[in-house]
């Protein structure tokens, strides 16, 4: 069991729920949330919090040393769609923050690192269906390039310096507690807010764009489980493929209509369509299943029911 955990990017879509889960598992005082801005009330009030820029090497190091942190979850990142608007900033944030944390682990100042990768590491030349763990990876977004590069560096730091770094290639994540920001899969969350408030949604992807997705509860469980697994079980030190469900906007809309019969969806694909077209439709996660017992619990039907119940 870790003594102290630091979650960098604690106020983001994954960070918020991850921090709360880790606090419930390891004790509120043992899980420090950190972000460049404050987050929701529950997160701010339930345990320690630091205002922290993930690119500030000195401050990250000082928080880890002064608080005797032994595990860092680095959740701060600029996602695919925003990254295309600000390529320099995306590259700098995504890479600088990773090196800071990997170096702390290399120097023995922290014991374990979690770093999220993404299905964005794949590109148009990758097999689209049941994308294998090891395959062609030619990402076309800055975000995808930063994640693929990050994966190589994680593997390198493990092999060369023995750093215990663990990683998952998250698909699009669906959650009701915190909104996503700047991703290509964000429609799968926005659709619920609009369906409930306005009864209509204009989707920025075409109706038949199938993408890999996952309900947040599954993603958080996967994150906790991969970090708890014995080190010898983690055979993939770049990042693990992880699959929850795959669906198109039209399929999701049909499930929403079962609960809200008047719901209407229209399709106006924008620049995010090109990004979505370069990503896989479904993911083969057999290695995560074999190595650390991963298995998803939520399908599309269950996810839609949960989202509508919590947001209504
Ligand atoms: C995005 O759409 O950029 C992210 C991701 C798949 O990593 N949700």
* pLDDT attached to residue 64: 98
* Probe residue for ligand 1, chosen from 13, 15, 79, 189 as the CB with the greatest number of ligand atoms within 8 Å: 79
Task: pLDDT band for 101, please (50, 70, 90 cuts).
Answer: very high
Q: For residue 143, indicate whether it is catalytic.
A: yes
172-213+244-282+298-311 shares the fold of 5-171+216-241:
no
Domain ranges of the chain: 5-171+216-241, 172-213+244-282+298-311
- Which class in CATH covers the domain with range 5-171+216-241? alpha beta
Q: What is the tens place of the pLDDT at every residue in 276-298? A: 999 999 999 999 999 999 999 99
CA of 78 to the centre of ligand 1 (A): 9
What value does the mean pLDDT take over residues 115-133?
A: 98
Residue (of 57, 61, 58, 55) closest to 76 by Cα position: 55
DSSP at 271: T
17-26 residues labelled b (16+ CB within 10 A) or e (exposed) = bbbbbbbeeb
CA of 246 to the centre of ligand 1 (A): 14
Percent of the chain with pLDDT over 70: 100
Give me the helix-helix angle, 216-228 and 13-26, nearest 10°: 50
Q: Which residues line ligand 1 (CB under 6 A)?
A: 79-80, 118-120, 143, 170, 172, 183-185
Cα 111 off chain centre by: 21
CATH of domain 172-213+244-282+298-311: 3.90.25.10
What value does the mean pLDDT take over residues 66-89?
A: 98
The average confidence (pLDDT) of the chain is 97
Contact 55, 92 (CB under 8 A): yes
Q: How many helices and strands, by DSSP H and E, does the chain display? A: 12, 12
CA–CA distances in Å: residue 97 to residues 27, 44, 301: 26, 22, 37
CA of 130 to the centre of ligand 1 (A): 18
Contact 241, 285 (CB under 8 A): yes
Task: pLDDT band for 181, please (50, 70, 90 cuts).
Answer: confident
Q: What is the tens place of the pLDDT at every residue in 201-253? A: 999 999 999 999 999 999 999 999 999 999 999 999 999 999 999 999 999 99
Q: How many CB atoms lie within 10 A of CB 260?
A: 15
Contact 33, 45 (CB under 8 A): no
ipTM topping 0.95: yes
Beta bridge partners of 72: 6, 113
Residue nearest to atom 8 of ligand 1 (CA): 172
* Probe residue for ligand 1, chosen from 13, 115, 118, 242 as the CB with the greatest number of ligand atoms within 8 Å: 118
Beta bridge partners of 7: 33, 73
CA–CA distances in Å: residue 89 to residues 7, 76, 81, 143, 146: 21, 13, 13, 10, 11
What value does the mean pLDDT take over residues 55-82?
A: 98
What value does the mean pLDDT take over residues 41-65?
A: 97
Q: What is the tens place of the pLDDT at every residue in 7-23? A: 999 999 999 999 999 99
Percent of the chain with pLDDT over 90: 98
Residue nearest to atom 4 of ligand 1 (CA): 183
Among 73, 143, 201, 298, the one annotated catalytic: 143
pTM, whole model, 2 decimals? 0.97
Task: pLDDT band for 3, please (50, 70, 90 cuts).
Answer: confident
Residue (of 284, 290, 283) closest to 233 by Cα position: 290
CA of 288 to the centre of ligand 1 (A): 20
CA of 116 to the centre of ligand 1 (A): 11
Residue (of 57, 55, 31) closest to 109 by Cα position: 57
Beta bridge partners of 73: 7, 114
* Probe residue for ligand 1, chosen from 170, 242, 278 as the CB with the greatest number of ligand atoms within 8 Å: 170
């Amino acid at each position: 069991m870790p003594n102290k955990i630091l979650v960098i990017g604690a106020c983001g879509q994954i960070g918020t729920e991850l921090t709360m889960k880790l606090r419930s598992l390891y004790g509120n005082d043992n899980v420090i949330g950190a972000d460049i801005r404050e987050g929701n009330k529950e997160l701010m009030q339930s345990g320690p919090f630091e205002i922290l820029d993930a690119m500030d090497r000195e401050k990250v190091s000082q928080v880890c040393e002064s608080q005797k942190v032994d595990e860092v979850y680095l959740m701060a990142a600029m996602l695919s769609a925003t990254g295309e608007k600000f390529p320099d900033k995306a590259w700098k944030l995504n890479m600088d923050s990773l090196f800071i944390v990997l170096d702390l682990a290399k120097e023995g100042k922290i014991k374990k690192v979690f770093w999220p990768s993404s299905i964005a590491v794949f590109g148009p030349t990758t097999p689209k269906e049941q994308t294998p763990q090891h395959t062609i990876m030619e990402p076309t977004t800055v975000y995808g390039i930063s994640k693929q590069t990050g994966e190589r560096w994680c593997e390198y730091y493990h092999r060369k310096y023995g750093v215990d770094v663990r990683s998952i290639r998250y698909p699009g994540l669906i959650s009701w507690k915190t909104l996503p920001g700047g991703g290509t899969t964000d429609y799968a969350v926005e659709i619920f807010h609009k369906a409930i408030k306005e009864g209509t949604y204009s989707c920025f992807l075409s109706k038949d764009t199938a993408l890999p997705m996952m309900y947040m509860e599954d993603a958080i469980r996967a994150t906790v489980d991969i970090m708890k697994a014995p080190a010898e079980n983690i055979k993939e030190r770049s990042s693990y493929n992880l699959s929850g469900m795959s669906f198109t906007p039209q399929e999701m809309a049909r499930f929403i209509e079962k609960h809200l019969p008047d719901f209407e969806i229209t399709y106006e694909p924008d620049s995010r369509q090109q990004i979505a077209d370069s990503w896989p439709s479904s993911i083969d996660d057999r290695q995560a299943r074999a190595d650390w017992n991963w298995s998803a619990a939520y399908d599309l039907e269950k996810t839609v029911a949960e989202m509508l119940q919590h947001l209504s």
